[in-house]
Amino acid sequence: MIEIPSLSGEEAALAAFLVETMQPLGFHAFVDEAGNAVGILGEGPNEIVLLGHMDTVPGVVPVRIEKGKLYGRGSVDAKGPLATFIAAAARVGALPGKRIVVVGATEEETANSKGARHVIRTLSPTYCVIGEPSGTRAVTLAYKGRIVLAYEAWADAAHSASPAGSILEEGVEFWNRIRRWAEDFNAGKKMFDRLDPALRHVRSENDGLEESIHLRASVRIPLGLTPDDVRQQVEGLKPGPGQLRFWGADPPYRAEKNNPLVRAFLRAIRERGLNPSFKVKTGTSDMNVVGPAWNCPIVAYGPGDSALDHAPNEHLDLAEYHQAITILARVLTIL
């Protein structure tokens, strides 16, 4: 899987490989209308959806195994967790009364979450596990939300000695207002409860007649705020000239932890001699998309250290990977 490049929007080759791989393992496997790789095992009233994603961010990490660690783009985020899903489901096979559905979703790394938004309409799970690195002994219960914004402004070019303010300076000051607003909001708060604005792109242009500035940023949103709250606040900070666009608005989400799915994970982890724990994440995942829609017991689980997401040395410990397969297979039998 890691040797097959699968940037967001370019997952077709990996999807075809996964379908070809899942079929002889007993899955009814196919590529759906959104380009997702889907594998189904068994039939029954209890639908267990294992929702991972195939796409990765850019960057080539040479694929290799060193000292029991598998290096490569996507090894942690999130081909390792998706491979765990396929291997664990194949290990247990068709189970009475259960319909296990593995989904390798498209475009999770973009603000679109194309694959996840498609399966909202086609699946209705009793339980859902999101494929993201939590470490073998932990499950993730919550993610911050997100909104993405772009600011663009244009003005007649002026001499650098002109007393008039520059459109570039106004754009920079706009971003500084956003940062100050977040700093005031975050005072005294823990990391998961903070606003996290991040400047992603800045470009200025001047053709001698007109100058312009283009900013793109994202804001990670804690529980208690909505993307619309952030949009309204940012709109109030914008200087007079310029245009604002917003997209990729996903609310923060926290799952319940007193339900059969969580109890199954706690039991399976303890049976392996490990002490289970819970995590909350400052990023987003497809849990933000499907959690509010399905309203079923849901966690994120998968091998790997999330600190290595998108990193130039991204790698997965293979012993941890095999342990995660064993734990998830046990969860599927317990549920």
- pLDDT bucket at 238, cuts 50 / 70 / 90: very high
pLDDT at position 159 over 50? no
Q: Are residues 25 and 112 in the same domain?
A: yes
Lowest pLDDT segment from 3-12, 166-175, 300-309: 166-175
Same domain, 24 and 53: yes
Instruction: Please say which residue of 250, 265, 295 terminates a domain.
Output: 250
Q: What is the CA radius of gyration of the chain?
A: 22
Residue position matching structure tokens 């039998």: 333
Parent domain of 177? 145-250
Mean pLDDT value across residues 27-33 = 98
Q: Based on the domain organization, do 133 and 189 belong to the same domain?
A: no
Cis peptide before 78 (omega within 30 of 0): yes
- CA diameter of the chain: 78
What digits encode the pLDDT tens for the residues 129-155?
Answer: 999 999 999 999 999 999 999 999 988
Torsion angle, alpha carbons of 189, 191, 107, 90, to 10 = -130
Residue 210 lies in a domain: yes
Residue 7 is given by DSSP the state B
Say yes or no: 176 and 295 in one domain: no
Distance from C-alpha of 129 to C-alpha of 211, rounded to nearest angstrom: 49
CATH number, position 273: 3.40.630.10
Average pLDDT, the chain: 95
For residue 188, what pLDDT is reported?
96
pLDDT in tens, 46-95: 999 999 999 999 999 999 999 999 999 999 999 999 999 999 999 999 99
pLDDT at 11 over 70: yes
The residue among 123 and 205 whose pLDDT is bigger is 123
> CA-to-CA distance for 56 and 2, rounded, in angstroms?
10
Q: Which of 221, 201, 223 is closest to 213 using CA atoms?
A: 201
Q: Is residue 324 over pLDDT 80?
A: yes
Asked if the model's pLDDT at residue 269 lies above 60, the reply is yes
Q: Which residues pair with 321 in a beta bridge?
A: none
Mark whether 61 and 136 lie in a shared domain. Answer: yes
Task: Identify the domain boundary among 230, 250, 270.
Answer: 250
CATH assignment of the domain containing 210: 3.30.70.360
**Same structural domain, 261 and 133:** yes
Q: What is the dihedral sign for C-alpha 135, 141, 144, 147? A: positive
Amino acid 242: pLDDT? 87
Asked if the structure places residue 6 within a domain, the reply is no
Residue 190: which pLDDT band, with cuts at 50, 70 and 90? Answer: very high
Amino acid at position 314, single letter: E
Same domain, 155 and 230: yes
pTM, rounded to two decimals: 0.93
Please report whether residue 3 resides in a domain: no
Cα separation, 291 vs 299, whole angstroms: 9
For residue 161, pLDDT beyond 70: no
Residue 145: phi and psi, rounded to 5, are: -90, -175
- Domain for residue 7, yes or no? no
Same domain, 205 and 310: no
Q: Is residue 270 located within the same domain as residue 169?
A: no
Average pLDDT (244-256) is 95
Whether 240 and 282 map to the same domain: the answer is no
Q: Output the pLDDT for position 239.
A: 87
**What are the start-end ranges of the H helices in the chain?**
12-22, 79-92, 114-122, 167-186, 227-237, 260-271, 287-294, 318-334
For residues 11 and 176, give the distance between their C-alpha atoms in angstroms, rounded to a whole number. 38
pLDDT of 155 reads 86
Give the count of domains, the chain.
Answer: 2
- Range with the poorest average pLDDT among 31-45, 150-164, 198-212, 234-248: 150-164
Task: Output the pLDDT for position 158.
Answer: 64
Interior angle at CA 51, CA 45 and CA 56, nearest 5: 165
Give the residue numbers marked as catalytic. Answer: 55, 108
Q: How far is CA 26 from the centre of its chain?
A: 28
8 pLDDT exceeds 70?
Answer: yes
Q: Is residue 209 included in any domain, yes or no?
A: yes
Confidence band of 162 (pLDDT split at 50, 70, 90): very low
- Residues 299 and 206 reside in one and the same domain: no
Do 17 and 54 form a contact (C-beta atoms < 8 A)? no
Collect all residues with Cβ–Cβ distance below 8 Å to 138 and sequence separation of at least 6: 276, 277, 278, 279
The pLDDT value given to residue 165:
55
